[in-house]
């Protein structure tokens, strides 16, 4: 889409100053239902969330230029906007079914703003109230037009949170808990009736004593071990045949148009040749995150986070060390395996005792050490809130990666991760 507006032209140059934060929003069953999108800039040794109208307009204009689905896939995107942006024309170019506009409760709520929001609601747009910590008289004129209330759970006691949740539930609002970083916080908000959750609690390992891997996960781990010791195709084929779901998924994968095959591939032996060892290993690593009962209508946030990490680390490694392809392949492995502790409910030490990995990979996964450890720390900084991203600028400097190079690599990683979904269900 080409925007015939002076706004998009004047804001476009700012893009080079930023990297993009894409924070998942989950429902009560921990399915991904949306992303919040934020531009951030690095400076003075830390990353800061940019909430001025100029940056907000930059984000909206650039999302239009890129195509929303390339960044957020099939789910809606939440955008922070202020009254200046909302009163302009740029937001009208965003499709109403793909966006939720967030208004901060401290924004000036004028009669003109209420009228503008009312008109947009009539046109099908949805609005959320952001960073709410109290139900004040100030926001009441806007409240009938608000669909979702985002409550900052990090600054409230459980008692105050329960009171506020009850007040907004009585006003028939959907509740979104922000900054949920632990399983305990999630469970607390779940008990209080919150509808949606934003934060990285789902990526934190809840270590469960005696938890065992599923039959499918064990089969995949065994296959990864076979590849690591360079077993022949016949042995790998025999192992895959023991798991029917893996057979079907692999044959479906090699017969997709993107694989470039000219005839139907009906045998596993042919499929293994077409795919090759490197792609087979990547496919298996992705399969670890796919539960057999997964609902095809929803995306697993852990799967999307792991694949995005893996691809981003691969792209950065390829950018920094283009002469050695194996470094990029190893970086992908580090990124995608970095969430196995959250997936399996076991310590990373125990998991790494079950698979054969090189010292550099193990050091990165266990201690965030070395080149791959720095790449992993960089990805984790990008994902976290601005308060937790103080290490971002020093990491970019250490890796000799300009921030303007990071942004296009992020977009490529997002698009690649989103594109996997048709092939993992």
CATH number at residue 93: 3.20.20.450
Q: How many CA atoms lie within 13 A of 379 on its CB side?
A: 32
Enclosing domain of residue 385:
301-423
Question: Is 356 within the bounds of a domain?
Answer: yes
Question: Is 210 within the bounds of a domain?
Answer: no
Q: Where does residue 170 rank: exposed (0-12), middle (13-18), buried (19+ CB within 10 A)?
A: exposed
Token pair belonging to 227: 């590849």
What is residue 82's predicted lDDT score, i.e. its pLDDT?
A: 84
What is residue 21's predicted lDDT score, i.e. its pLDDT?
A: 82
Does 156 share its domain with 268?
Answer: no
What is residue 108's predicted lDDT score, i.e. its pLDDT?
A: 80
Does 142 share its domain with 116?
Answer: yes
Question: Model confidence over 354-404: pLDDT tens digits?
Answer: 777 889 999 999 999 999 999 999 999 888 756 545 778 889 999 999 988
In eight-state DSSP terms, residue 425 is: -
Does 106 share its domain with 238?
Answer: no
What is residue 222's predicted lDDT score, i.e. its pLDDT?
A: 87
**Which residues have CB under 8 Å from 236's CB, separation 6+?**
223, 226, 227, 272, 280
**Rounded-to-integer distance, Cα 331 and Cα 42, Å:** 24
Query: What is the residue-wise DSSP string for 226-245?
Result: HHHTT--HHHHHHHHHT-HH
Question: Is 311 within the bounds of a domain?
Answer: yes
Q: For the chain, what is the domain count?
A: 3
Report pTM.
Answer: 0.87
Could you say which of 263, 287, 311 is where a domain stops? 287
Q: Which one, of 45, 66, 53, 173, lies nearest residue 108 by Cα?
A: 53
Does 272 share its domain with 338?
Answer: no
**Rounded-to-integer distance, Cα 369 and Cα 366, Å:** 8
**Which residues have CB under 8 Å from 405's CB, separation 6+?**
319
**Rounded-to-integer distance, Cα 87 and Cα 115, Å:** 10
**Which residues have CB under 8 Å from 132's CB, separation 6+?**
105, 139, 149, 150, 151, 152, 164, 168
Residues of the chain with pLDDT under 70: 1-18, 41-57, 59, 65-66, 209-210, 258, 260, 291-299, 385-389, 421-425
Does 60 share its domain with 156?
Answer: yes
């Amino acid at each position: 889409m080409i925007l015939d507006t002076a706004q998009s032209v004047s804001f476009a140059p700012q893009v080079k100053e930023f990297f993009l934060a894409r924070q998942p929003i989950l429902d009560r069953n921990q399915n991904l239902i949306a992303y919040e999108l934020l531009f951030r800039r690095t400076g003075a040794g830390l990353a800061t969330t940019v909430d001025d109208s100029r940056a907000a307009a930059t984000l909206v204009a650039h999302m239009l230029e890129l195509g929303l689905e390339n960044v957020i896939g099939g789910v809606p995107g939440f955008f922070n906007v202020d009254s200046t942006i909302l009163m302009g024309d740029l937001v009208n170019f965003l499709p109403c079914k793909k966006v939720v506009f967030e208004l901060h409760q401290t924004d000036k709520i004028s009669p003109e703003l209420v009228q503008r929001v009312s008109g947009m609601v009539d046109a099908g747009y949805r609005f959320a109230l952001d960073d709410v910590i109290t139900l004040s008289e100030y926001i009441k004129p806007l409240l009938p037009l608000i669909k979702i209330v985002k409550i900052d759970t990090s600054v409230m006691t459980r008692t105050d949170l329960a009171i506020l949740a009850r007040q907004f539930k009585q006003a028939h609002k959907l509740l979104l808990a922000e900054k949920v970083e632990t399983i305990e916080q999630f469970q607390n908000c779940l008990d209080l009736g919150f509808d949606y959750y934003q934060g990285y609690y789902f990526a934190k390992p809840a270590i469960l004593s005696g938890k065992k891997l599923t039959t499918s996960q064990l089969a995949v781990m065994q296959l990864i071990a076979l590849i690591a010791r360079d077993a022949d195709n016949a042995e790998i084929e025999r192992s895959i045949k023991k798991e029917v779901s893996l057979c079907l998924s692999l044959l479906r994968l090699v017969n997709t148009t993107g694989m470039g095959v000219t005839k139907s591939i009906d045998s596993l032996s042919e499929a293994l040749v077409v795919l090759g060892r490197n792609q087979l290993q990547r496919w298996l690593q992705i399969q670890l995150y796919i539960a057999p009962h997964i609902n095809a209508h929803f995306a697993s946030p852990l799967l999307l986070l792991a694949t995005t990490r893996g691809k981003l680390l691969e792209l950065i490694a390829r950018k920094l060390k283009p002469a050695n392809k194996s470094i990029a392949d190893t970086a992908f492995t580090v990124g995608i395996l970095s969430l196995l502790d959250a997936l399996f409910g076991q310590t990373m030490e125990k998991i790494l005792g079950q698979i054969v990995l090189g010292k550099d990979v193990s050091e990165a996964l266990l201690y965030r050490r070395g080149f791959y450890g720095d790449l992993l720390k960089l990805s984790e900084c990008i994902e976290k809130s601005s308060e937790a991203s103080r290490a971002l600028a020093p990491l970019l400097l250490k890796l000799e990666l300009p921030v303007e190079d990071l942004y296009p690599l992020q977009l490529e990683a997002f698009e690649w991760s989103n594109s996997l979904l048709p092939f993992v269900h």
